[in-house]
Chains A and B, each alone.
Chain A
Amino acid sequence: MSSEIRFTDFKSDKQPTWCPGCGDFGTMNGMMKALANTGNDPDNTFVVAGIGCSGKIGTYMHSYALHGVHGRALPVGAGVKLANPDLEVMVAGGDGDGYSIGAGHFVHAVRRNVDMTYVVMDNRIYGLTKGQASPTSREDFETSTTPDGPQQPPVNPMALALASGATFIAQSFSTDAQRHAEIVQKAIEHDGFGFVNVFSPCVTFNDVDTYDYFRDSLVDLAEEDHDPTDYDDAKDAILDGNKEYQGVIWQNEESVPYGEKHGVTEDMSQVDEGAPEGAMDLVREFY
């Protein structure tokens, strides 16, 4: 069946309510293309999202999906994947969702290395609450709640991921459709937790981190002398405060995903009609 699957099969019949021109359209299209390209279909795909503009993605895609609470999509995704490893699990979040309220879960999801893909739609602003500073907003970025700018350095999500033991770190740009889909596809194909930070501009509230800004400043690692399997190369790119990169920045080829490491490889959805065979042994243990 999968050979007949087109990326539009992952589209639902709901029209997105994202603002015209929002980067999230491109981010979502790339995710759908990557899913189709990797041979998935809507019935074996589970998409989890949290709150905010990014959280709406499950409504606009056609797949099994859960729209959860703010910042907690990653543990839901891990639960889905561990309970049924046959499913392709994709978690979507925003910069607030992933690096602020969900920062704790992010660090531990990275450590846990469950075989799923995490796409963060990073627009460096809180959009759905109408324009407040996010954890990736620039230090001097003026917003309704930070009239002088946050006056705190932005979170470097990739550094956070690397320090937490990430096995796959990539960054892409939503409007660079071909490249973005290709990067997400690599994340899906990675054995373990595939993390992609996507620059997904907010055309309504962020007049600094715009399409033009990223077009002018993004450096594609595919055109540089960058080896994503080289830890030092990855570290240098991630800690380089002067450049914004797109591409696969780090991939640990030795990655063993959680399920394989812990022997969690069977679908858990089936249950015996009564207590499982051998259950009486559990009682005998208490003699």
Chain B
Amino acid sequence: MPADFNWAIGGEAGDGIDSTGKIFAQALSRAGRHVFTSKDFASRIRGGYTAYKVRTAVDPVQSVVDRLDVLIALTPRTIEENLDELHEGSVIIYDGERTTMEDVEIPEGMIGLEVPLKRLAEEAGGAIMRNVVALGAACEVAEFPIENLDSALEKRFGSKGQQLVDNNKEAARKGQDYVDEEYDHEFDYDLETTDEDYVLLNGDEAIGMGAIAAGCKFYAGYPITPATDVMEYLTGRIENFGGHVVQAEDELSAINLALGAARAGARSMTATSGPGIDLMTETFGLVATSETPLVICDVMRSGPSTGMPTKQEQGDLDMLLYGGHGEIPRFVLAPTTISECFWKTVEAFNLAEKYQTPVYLTADLSLAVTEQTFSPEEFDMDEVEIDRGKVVDDDTISEWQNEKGQFKPHAITDDGVSPRAFPGTVDGAHMTTGLEHDELGRRTEDTDLRVEQVDKRNRKVETARSEEDWSPREFGDPDSENLVVSWGSNEGAMVEAIDLLEEEGVDVRFLSIPYMFPRFDLNEAFEDAEEVVVVECNATGQFADVVEHDTLTRVKRVNKYNGVRFKADELAEDIKQTLEA
């Protein structure tokens, strides 16, 4: 029996795939099992193939693999789409009475369980519960105690009344009983439960939660896949902490609203995806020049233009590092796991305020929309620290005034950081602008002042380089001569790939880089390495280019850009071949 269990439900968009998958994932999580989910969805509201996949084990899981043990197929296409992941002994649950599924053929070697999902659901109180019947059937196949499913159903439907909860529980039991009675088969799965309590969340939710934890009070955004979940998470929650969400008319407005709130002293954020970053780039320069602390989150998807909005890619790095006219200091943070989405968001707010600089926080679609289980302690709120940087008040502002009593918001300092006075501070009234300016914030074209202000802003990066910890996350064998470097969501697959490689006799040292700028100095690691492989989800190797630039060393590249995240087993194979090449 394999250590992990891989399950999926697939059908057409509109079939309730997402909520059904989530209920099953929650049932597993509540049963003390680790869960990692992935979604395969198309950019349409109804129709088209869509699937929700769950990988679960007692030990932590942090990637997907090329294997599917139990599949609930609501359409024939669901089977076709997953053929390469299904294997001998895979179980396919389907409704043979559904018109489109009547003539479906179960591939040889696999076990087809024909369950009248709709009919049983109607018996339990309504056809709409057919997916829950299927979940009950899956519980029987996997010998998973159905009480855990009950608990997830209560969470999902509890607010809609006990009757609905009871009907759903009944529907699940009908599915379970049907399989038990009709099929005389010992399945090869037995999902163990534990006493652990896990939380299950995705990267967008972790970013939203991190924002509230960091004291973010203002969010403005425009809906865009796959960043919208951040706004949806904050809406209805941030108000409980004295904050507010504005749905703007476009991304140009969103970043300007957020900029205004930040100037007023609020911790402020916007989130979008690549096309939105394009639009925000105009104001990004203003944010940087006016030295306004702002967190701008980019949840990457496939580009360019509208590309593949619902698919994975890490193609925005160049834009985040270099986008915008003129030269602009900025920080670029790229969380590598879902829990890091939380912690890096907190850090982003601190860096933004300490250095009065815009901070790009970039996640990719795979981090944003997939869910993973964690111990709640992973998000220990007592560990959250807030650093607001050099804020002056009515009493301290005089230290930063000139001889005429005028406040100097852009004072030249050794560390490059100037004082901040929130509006309302007595005798702090000042100007700020995207034009080059003097210490008072007033426009200047004076050549010396220009150089002083540019140097001052750039000095913040040097200060941050020496004062902050830009270390990567390290895995694998620290003494290995094979060095793998990656960023973003690839970490999970790579960490599992390390074990698979080890089984094949290949050892690697793996550095997962969470800071794109400023960056960890890779030179020392490179000196110790014989071979270096950079793994990323794009075609041109944007991060590999950066790494080569930093180290003046050629690297090998593993790139994936078909819109699908790396799978652990596939990645292990790619790395092995690349090292051997």
Is there a chain B Cβ closer than 8 Å to A219's Cβ?
no
Contact B424 A84 (CB under 8 A): yes
* Docked complex: A243-287 residues within 8 A CB-CB of B: 262-264, 266-276, 278-280, 282-284, 286-287
Asked whether B220 is an interface residue with its Cβ less than 8 Å from the other chain, the reply is: yes
Determine if B253 and A83 form an interchain contact, defined as CB atoms under 8 angstroms apart.
Answer: no
Residues of B whose CB lies within 8 Å of any CB of A are: 29-30, 197-201, 205, 209, 212-215, 217-218, 220, 237, 239-244, 246, 248-250, 252-254, 256-268, 282-283, 286, 290, 376, 379, 381-382, 384-386, 388, 404, 422-435, 442-443
Contact assessment for A48 and B243 in the assembled complex, using a CB-CB cutoff below 8 Å: no
A39 to chain B minimum Cβ distance, whole angstroms, is 15
Q: Does A151 contact B (CB under 8 A)?
A: no
Instruction: Report how far A270 CA is from B388 CA in the complex, Å.
Output: 10
Nearest-Cβ distance from residue A102 to partner chain B, whole angstroms: 9
Nearest-Cβ distance from residue B328 to partner chain A, whole angstroms: 14
**B381–A274 touching, CB < 8 Å:** yes
A79-B257, A79-B260 as given contacts; A64 in contact with B428, CB under 8 Å? yes
Question: For the complex, is A90 an interface residue (Cβ under 8 Å from B)?
Answer: no
Minimal beta-carbon separation of A269 from chain B (angstroms) = 3
Interface centre among B198, B217, B434 (most CB of A within 10 A): B217
A102 to B268, CA, bound (A): 23
Minimum distance in angstroms from A254 CB to a CB of chain B: 23
A125 to B425, CA, bound (A): 38
Q: Interface SS of chain B: helix, strand, loop or mixed?
A: mixed
CB neighbours of B197 from chain A (8 A):
287
Q: A87: which of B239, B246, B423 is its contact (CB, 8 Å)?
A: B423
The 3 closest A-B pairs by CB, nearest first: A79-B260, A269-B265, A271-B215
Q: Which of B256, B282, B430 contacts A75 (CB 8 A)?
A: B256
A contacts, CB < 8 Å to B: 12-14, 42-46, 48, 58-59, 62-69, 72-73, 75-84, 86-87, 104-105, 107-108, 262-264, 266-276, 278-280, 282-284, 286-287
Is A64's CB under 8 angstroms from B260's CB?
A: no
List chain A residues, Cβ under 8 A from B423. Answer: 43-44, 46, 64, 80, 84, 87
Contact of A80 among B249, B254, B261, B267 (CB under 8 A): B261
6 additional A-B residue pairs with CB within 8 Å, beyond A271-B215, A279-B384: A48-B260, A79-B261, A81-B264, A271-B386, A283-B199, A286-B199
Query: Is the beta-carbon distance between A278 and B240 smaller than 8 angstroms?
Result: yes
Q: Return the chain B residue nearest A112 by Cβ.
A: B246
Nearest A residue to B200 via CB reads A286
Docked-complex contact A58 and B213, CB < 8 angstroms:
no
Which residues of A lie under 8 Å from residue B381 when comparing CB positions? Answer: 274-275, 279-280, 283
Query: Are A262 and B253 in contact, with the CB atoms below 8 A?
Result: no
Residue of A nearest to B394 (CB): A43
**Which of B215, B254, B286, B442 is within 8 Å of A68, CB to CB?**
B286
By CB atoms of chain A within 10 A, which of B213, B422, B431 has the most?
A: B431
Do residues B264 and A87 form an inter-chain contact, with CB atoms below 8 A?
yes
Question: Which one of A12, A76, A278, A286 contacts B256 once the chains associate, using CB atoms below 8 Å?
Answer: A76
- Quick check: A43 and B30 within 8 Å, CB to CB? no
Give Cα distance in the complex from A72 to B424, angstroms.
23
Residue in A14, A46, A62, A68 whose Cβ sees the most chain B Cβ within 10 Å: A68
Would you call B258 and A79 a contact (CB within 8 A)?
Answer: yes
Cβ-defined contact, B429 with A84, below 8 A = no
Q: How far is the CB of B440 from chain A (nearest CB, A)?
A: 9
Partner among B253, B422, B429 whose Cβ is within 8 Å of the Cβ of A72: B253
